[in-house]
Every structure is written in structure tokens, then in C-alpha cells.
Amino acid sequence: MKRTMFVSLLLGSMLMACTEIKHPSKNGYAQELKLTQEWDKVFAKSKKVDHKKVTFANRYGITLAADMYIPKDSAGKATKFAAIAVCGPFGAVKEQSSGLYAQHMAESGFLTIAFDPSFTGESGGEPRRMASPDINTEDFLAAVDYLSNLENVDPERIGIIGICGWGGMALSAAALDPRIKATVASTMYDMSRIAAKGYFDMEDSREIRMQQRKMMARQRTEDYKNGTYLRAGGVPDTLSADASSFLKHYHDYYKTSRGYHARSGNSNDGWNVVGTQSFLNYPLLAYADEIESPVLLIHGEKAHSRYFSEHAFEQMTGKNPKTAVWSGNSLFSDNKEFMLVPGAYHTDLYDDFFQKIPYGKLEQFFKEYLK
């Protein structure tokens, strides 16, 4: 039997057997979350938007917590908004960068949500501080499920923004779900690449990957025996004089009043040591070249992580940013664009501290492709 026929028959039988199964958000799988109601963001509340807490469930039955931002004075009006779901950075919470981006985009006229991924922040999922290329991609898709069913959202005009590590997750989601009409990846990390190859691909060897596998295998045995998960540690409280410049930039954001948050893993004790194990095996951008919808990659000119966006753009378009012809600070190929922010480092695009986030470009991009 041909593979395609076998898969079709298998999926058909599964669908027939599951026709009575309801969505998790409709049948009691959704978890009751205790959400902080006071404003506890690291950025000031805008007077131009209304804000409220919302929850929704993903297809694994994990309930996600989100902050919704709606343009002011829209209540009661028959407005169908274009909507944007925002997440990231990797190890951050919605009270940090993603909430800031979401609030700014709501000021520009979009209905937005900034959500905590599964196992982190105020969202559900046990044990805490785990990550998964599959489940975290699903978190974006669940956000689209939720937005698509809101009465004041046009389901044909939904986009997503992924920041830092969630930039890679956003591209994974865009490759998987054609309901996503436009995607922005800002100061992107490809977490699967860095897990398997290390920074700047300096640990790209079979031997080093095997060392990681053995370390995590030993740690899993210990964690099971102890009944707890050992944390890897977030950004260090203090840095040595010879610490890398990008680690110093992380410290200046996550460990100071600029960006510290009590629920942020990066601000505190980090992920579980085995929390990112599966990224070693599952490349997030495997089908990035099949994304048909518009994508905007934004990166700092001086960011240590710039090579992630360079590779993603080349994978999507076949154009090498190092040899292609640029138009000002941008490189174009059909509906894909790679924009460099002059003089910006990686964390400069986390907040408004250095006034580097190109909100005007974001607004222009989404208004063009979510119209």
C-alpha cells in the first residue's frame, strides 16, 4: 500500500473515532488559573488601550494566560479587528518584551495578546520551566484558535510576533498554519540550532552533542530519584570581567529594574537542566522555505544573534544576505523582508530603553498584510 494512501486511511479512521471529542477549552480540560490582576509589567500602562487578562487552552489541554490589549473606545462598536499574538523572548514572561510589543501594536489599531508559553509564567503546565519545539509552536497555534473565535476579530486577518527564541517558534508556526497571514520574528534565535550546535555553531560536532545527551540522561535519572528538577540558572547575578558582551547585555535587561520580573526564568533560576532536551533533535526551521505568507525578520546590526535571521532569510528565499543587494537597511524577496536596525544589539530590541524597536515598520507591515 502506498504511504499516502495508508496515512489517509489511518487519519480517516482516527477522525471517525474522535468525532465526539470536544476541544479542551469547551469540555473542562482547561485549568483554572490564578492570575495577577494588578499591573505588574516592567513597562508603563498606555492610556491609548484597554487591557484585560484572558486564558485559552492549547490542543494538549494546557491553559495559557495572556494579556489582551484593545484600542481605546472600541467597546460596543461593531469593529472587526486585525489581531496579533505575541510571545518571547525565550525564558521571559508576558510582563516583559512581548507585552510591550503587544501594547504598542494595540496603540496602532490592532487587537493583541501577549501570552506566557506552556510551563512558564502564569500559564499552566507541569512540571514548570519546561520547553518543547512542538508544544511551544502549538502555543502560537492555540493563540490563533482563540483569536479566530473572538466576535471582534476578523479570523482572516491574524498575525504573530515572536521575539528572540520565540522568533524561531513563530517561523515554525507560520510554516505549519496558513491561518497565520503575517509573521514578524524580532531579534530571533533558532533554539534548535543553538541547542545542537552551540553559539556561532562552535559546538557543531557529533562528539559534543553526545556529551550533551549523556549529561541530560544522567540528570534525568537524578531528577527522577530526587523527585525534583534541577534548574540550570538564569542570567547570573554578577558577571566576571571577561564575560561576553551579549551576556552583559542580558544582565542589563533581566537583572536590573529595566527588565527584571519575579516570574521570569531568565531573571531568576532559569529553565530546568533537561527542560530544553528535545531541541537537540527537532530543527524548528525544517520547512521554513515552504512559508507562503509574508514574513518580516528584524535584527540589530551589531547583534551577536544576527546570523540566525540571516540563515532564516536565506532558507526562506534562497538569497544569501551577505552577498545579496540591499535596499537601504532592508533585503527583499517577494513577500519576505530582512531588516537591520543600525547600531542595535540583541537586547536593544527587547524594550524602549534604547529606542531601537522599529514600531513604524511593524505597523506598516501588518497594515499591509492584514488589511
Instruction: Give tens-digit pLDDT for 40-81.
Output: 999 999 999 999 999 999 999 999 999 999 999 876 666 799
Rounded mean pLDDT, 186-208: 97
Question: Residue 94 — pLDDT band, cuts 50, 70, 90?
Answer: very high
pLDDT at 2 over 70: no
DSSP state of 171: H
Cell readout for 257 is 529594574
d(CA 247, CA 244): 5
Preceding peptide of 133 cis, ω within 30°: no
**163: phi then psi, degrees, rounded to nearest 5:** -110, 135
Which amino acid, one-letter code, is at 119?
A: F
The confidence score (pLDDT) of residue 74 equals 75
Question: Residue 207 — pLDDT band, cuts 50, 70, 90?
Answer: very high
Name the more confident of 5 and 49: 49
The confidence score (pLDDT) of residue 27 equals 54
The confidence score (pLDDT) of residue 62 equals 97
The confidence score (pLDDT) of residue 3 equals 54
- Count CB neighbours of 88 within 10 A: 30
- Cα 270 to chain centroid distance, Å, stands at 17
pLDDT at 276 over 50: yes
pLDDT at 231 over 50: yes
The percentage of residues in the chain with a pLDDT greater than 90, rounded to a whole number, is 89
CB-based contact 82:369 (threshold 8 Å):
no
128 CB-near residues (< 8 Å, 6+ apart)? 119, 120, 272
Can you spell out the DSSP letters for 179-242?
A: T--EEEEES---HHHHHHH-GGGTT-SHHHHHHHHHHHHHHHHHHHHHTS--B---S-SS--TT
Rounded mean pLDDT, 220-246: 96
Cα-Cα-Cα-Cα dihedral of 287, 191, 185, 248, to 10°? -160
Residue 185 sits at the vertex; the CA angle it makes with 74 and 212, to the nearest 5 degrees, is: 135
pLDDT at 307 over 50: yes
DSSP helix/strand/coil, 277 = helix
DSSP β-ladder status, 81-87 and 49-57: unpaired
Q: pLDDT tens digits, residue range 109-141? A: 999 999 999 999 999 999 999 999 999 999 999
- Of 194, 191, 187, nearest to 209 by C-alpha is 194
d(CA 263, CA 236): 16
Residue 285 sits at the vertex; the CA angle it makes with 265 and 275, to the nearest 5 degrees, is: 30
pLDDT at 98 over 50: yes
pLDDT at 25 over 70: no
The confidence score (pLDDT) of residue 17 equals 45
CB-based contact 230:219 (threshold 8 Å):
yes
The confidence score (pLDDT) of residue 24 equals 63
Average pLDDT for the chain: 93
pLDDT at 16 over 50: no
The confidence score (pLDDT) of residue 73 equals 81
d(CA 226, CA 13): 42
DSSP helix/strand/coil, 263 = coil
DSSP helix/strand/coil, 160 = strand
